[in-house]
Amino acid sequence: MGRKTTIIETATRLFAQKGFAEASTAEIAETAGVAHGTLFYHFKNKQGIIQEIFTRAGSVYLRELRKSIAEYNTGMRQIEAALRFNEEYSRHHSQEILIFLRIFPDQLKGDAQSPEREFIDSIQQQVIAILHESLSAGIADGTIECRDIEETACVLNSLIFGVTHMSLMAPRYTPSLSEGAIAFCRQALQPSACAGKK
Amino acid sequence: MGRKTTIIETATRLFAQKGFAEASTAEIAETAGVAHGTLFYHFKNKQGIIQEIFTRAGSVYLRELRKSIAEYNTGMRQIEAALRFNEEYSRHHSQEILIFLRIFPDQLKGDAQSPEREFIDSIQQQVIAILHESLSAGIADGTIECRDIEETACVLNSLIFGVTHMSLMAPRYTPSLSEGAIAFCRQALQPSACAGKK
Amino acid sequence: MGRKTTIIETATRLFAQKGFAEASTAEIAETAGVAHGTLFYHFKNKQGIIQEIFTRAGSVYLRELRKSIAEYNTGMRQIEAALRFNEEYSRHHSQEILIFLRIFPDQLKGDAQSPEREFIDSIQQQVIAILHESLSAGIADGTIECRDIEETACVLNSLIFGVTHMSLMAPRYTPSLSEGAIAFCRQALQPSACAGKK
Amino acid sequence: MGRKTTIIETATRLFAQKGFAEASTAEIAETAGVAHGTLFYHFKNKQGIIQEIFTRAGSVYLRELRKSIAEYNTGMRQIEAALRFNEEYSRHHSQEILIFLRIFPDQLKGDAQSPEREFIDSIQQQVIAILHESLSAGIADGTIECRDIEETACVLNSLIFGVTHMSLMAPRYTPSLSEGAIAFCRQALQPSACAGKK
DNA sequence: GATGAATGAGGTTTCATTCAT
DNA sequence: CATGAATGAAACCTCATTCAT
């Protein structure tokens, strides 16, 4: 495994544990077992490390989310899959997710139109788009009913974000939310029962 | 207005805008119009400032949330009120909320049992307890139906957190979620329509 | 007891425990139970406190040393008394002595002709003078024999200083030295045994 | 000569002149001709500098003391050599000795079992052990007579400390004590004259 | 490709001292 | 007499970054 990859993995771990400002480049280098200067040979600066982590993690997440949803063929099942995938993913890739949850906010300084911000926004947009698609599919195949697709996609996205945040940041009092959240969403999205019974 | 209050207000603004690590004590002092040393006369250290902000903001938020809910008499309306209150509150107290969203994560270093962590956890617990109460009331008065009250309260708490986060941190592409979220929850919580129709 | 005395006693204790630079005026005030500003009402500045401690302690020490020696009527017994007094005194007034041992050195910045330095030197001179007097008396009364009175007085003074320092600063491995030192000195000072026997 | 050595030498000079607290890291760096930050690259912190000075100076002192004593073959001459060595050494290495005399006390905060304290104690112990050995040798070869070897070694150690302190800290009124101290000790330690004469 | 010594700007904090009350 | 809020200079230390090797 190349030095660059080692650095990225070490940095991911440290950033997730301690936060961006609190993990110094010297510590990253030492933990990764490379010289301090080596960091700056492979990356322009400290920002560059986190940017690469963001970029890699973001694209992996999106790819796997899409793959995971693609296995199901009704809209409702896809939405459920998205929620389940998210719990699974945040369990197995907790460090990448923690980085998003922890460092994310600090990257969004003021309202500046930074490239980081655009990248992050773009990921959110894609997640919302994926949910939108599944909702549309669900409406088409009769497994879902909802007022406004776009709005519902945003709400779902927020719910996913909130649930992930809670289970990673405050797991002590917050038991696994996934099944609860899935039940909640199924209830909210399923077509009116009476209509179906008639 | 005392110097201490001035410092707290200035620090709140700066922390919300730039984050904890990025707002220097020198800048806070200068912006507040006091000498640098004055900060450390009134607060033990930089942490002490954010702690006081947390404590004050947390208790105000909880008090107003309770008051806002108390105006309604069915469980469902209370839940709706909680969601609406949250949107309203995060619009008018965006700085305090931003501090919670931004600095929060960085306060939770590792799994250490820090007083900050306990304070933050305690707020979450109280919010969940409030929601729990309204859900119980709703089940009693027939306006709500749900699988597991505790679980649902946690899901609702996560949803509130997610929606608030999205609307403050990424407002550009995320239109006001409140009404969408309310509709979503109402759908998820309302008693099965058929039963009612029969 | 007046506030000024309280301050002096508290400062003595703290300076002895922690050193001059390490005991802050704020801590002295708090421990003494007075307001921070009160210190600077009674003393010109921090230096002023230690100066007053020095002055008081120095004159008390000299007075008691003289009194203690005066009880004996041969030179040798006076020297022994001086050594015994010193051990006794450093046990009962360890804080004042510690201040001399600890803060002393730091007061003697470079070779500047500071008033502190002159005061300290003057105490040393007086101790040496007292020893000188006893040695002379001892030679006159035949209990002491020595090469050079002035020189011997200086050696004795150094020995007293060294013994006191060791027993206060490194008591762990240095058992009570007084009796050993007295025997040592008696041996060094007593007239040649043969001469006496003849 | 490496930068680290330069820093140590500069710091030794400044600490000896002004004391530990009074010599600022900025001043040390400037005087040494290196950047302020360089200090903290080579040493953990300010304490770290003085610790290294202590360690180096302590081991040099002990080595040379041993070498200096080894040249003589009777116990009495070894003791004399120790006293002479000390005067010589404190004249040529006055800065290191001044550091011990000045900073020493401040390192011994309270009764804490700090590593500095242990190091300092260990040096004292070794000096006492060396004196002990010479006293034993002297008793064996008939050049020395004394009540209690251990006790006498401690007294001698205290005397050496006191004499060194006086001649370095208050040289103005205290002429070279070495010969006086040697005569004093010879007198105290030599075997009873009569026994010899008989 | 990789290193690590060196940097210096900037951060937090301490603290003796002042002064209006 | 006494206070304590306020000060600001100066301290120690951190750390991202550079650069000669």
Residues in B touching A148 (Cβ below 8 Å):
180
The share of chain C scoring above pLDDT 90, in percent, equals 51
Angstrom distance (rounded) from CA A19 to CA C114: 53
In order, the DSSP letters of B58-115 are: HHHHHHHHHHHHHT--SHHHHHHHHHHHHHHHHHHTHHHHHHHHHHHHHH--TT---H
| Closest alpha carbon to C1' of F2, residue | C38
Amino acid at A130: I
In a domain, D165, yes or no: yes
- For position D173, what pLDDT does the model report? 62
- For position B138, what pLDDT does the model report? 94
Give yes or no for a contact between D7 and D42, defined as CB atoms under 8 angstroms apart: yes
* Domain of residue D36, CATH code: 1.10.10.60
List the chains bordering chain C where 3 or more Cβ pairs fall under 8 Å.
Answer: D
- For position B189, what pLDDT does the model report? 80
Give yes or no for a contact between A117 and A108, defined as CB atoms under 8 angstroms apart: yes
Angstrom distance (rounded) from CA B179 to CA B80: 9
In a domain, D102, yes or no: yes
Q: Six-digit token pair at D161?
A: 């400390």
C65-85 pLDDT per residue, tens: 999 999 999 999 999 999 999
In a domain, C198, yes or no: no
Give yes or no for a contact between C194 and D195, defined as CB atoms under 8 angstroms apart: no
- Alpha carbons within 13 angstroms on the beta-carbon side of residue D161 total 25
- Alpha carbons within 13 angstroms on the beta-carbon side of residue C110 total 6
User: Which pTM was predicted?
Assistant: 0.86
Domain holding B90, by residue range, is 49-193
- For position C173, what pLDDT does the model report? 62
In order of C24, C193, D15, the CA distances from D26 in angstroms are 22, 62, 13
- Are A55 and A126 in a shared domain? yes
What is the average per-residue pLDDT within C148-159?
90
Angstrom distance (rounded) from CA D194 to CA C194: 5
**Averaged pLDDT score across all residues of chain C:** 86
- Are B132 and B189 in a shared domain? yes
Query: Does the CB of B41 fall within 7 Å of any strand E atom?
Result: yes
- Are A128 and A144 in a shared domain? yes
Give yes or no for a contact between A111 and A86, defined as CB atoms under 8 angstroms apart: no
- Are D60 and D137 in a shared domain? yes
- Are B60 and B11 in a shared domain? no
pLDDT of C197 higher than 60: no
- Are C73 and C39 in a shared domain? no
- Are A142 and A81 in a shared domain? yes
Query: How many other CB atoms are there within 10 angstroms of residue A55's CB atom?
Result: 13
Give yes or no for a contact between A135 and A146, defined as CB atoms under 8 angstroms apart: yes
- For position A175, what pLDDT does the model report? 64
Q: Where are the alpha helices (DSSP H) in D19-93?
A: 25-32, 36-42, 46-70, 75-92
- Are C103 and C152 in a shared domain? yes
- Are B74 and B125 in a shared domain? yes
- Are D125 and D156 in a shared domain? yes
| Closest alpha carbon to C1' of E5, residue | D41
Question: Which residues, other chains included, contact A146 with Cβ-Cβ below 8 Å and sequence gap of 6+?
Answer: A135, A139, A152, A188, A189, B187
Nucleotide nearest to B4 (CA to C1'): F5
In a domain, B63, yes or no: yes
* Domain of residue B165, CATH code: 1.10.357.10
- Are C21 and C90 in a shared domain? no
- For position A198, what pLDDT does the model report? 39
* Distance (Å) from the alpha carbon of A178 to chain B's nearest alpha carbon: 9
Average pLDDT per consecutive 10 residues, chain A (198 residues; last block may be shorter):
91 92 95 96 95 92 95 94 93 90 70 73 91 94 90 91 87 72 84 54
- For position B42, what pLDDT does the model report? 96
In a domain, A198, yes or no: no
In a domain, C151, yes or no: yes
CA of C18 to C1' of F12 (A): 19
In order of A197, B128, B185, B187, D6, the CA distances from B190 in angstroms are 18, 19, 8, 6, 79
Average pLDDT per consecutive 10 residues, chain D (198 residues; last block may be shorter):
91 92 95 96 95 92 95 93 92 90 70 74 91 94 89 91 86 71 81 54
In a domain, D154, yes or no: yes
Q: What domain count does chain B have?
A: 2
Please tell me the least confidently modeled range out of C1-5, C29-33, D89-93, D128-132.
C1-5
Query: What residues in chain B have per-residue pLDDT under 50?
Result: 195-198
In a domain, D198, yes or no: no
Chains C and D touch (3+ CB pairs under 8 A): yes
Nucleotide nearest to B42 (CA to C1'): F5
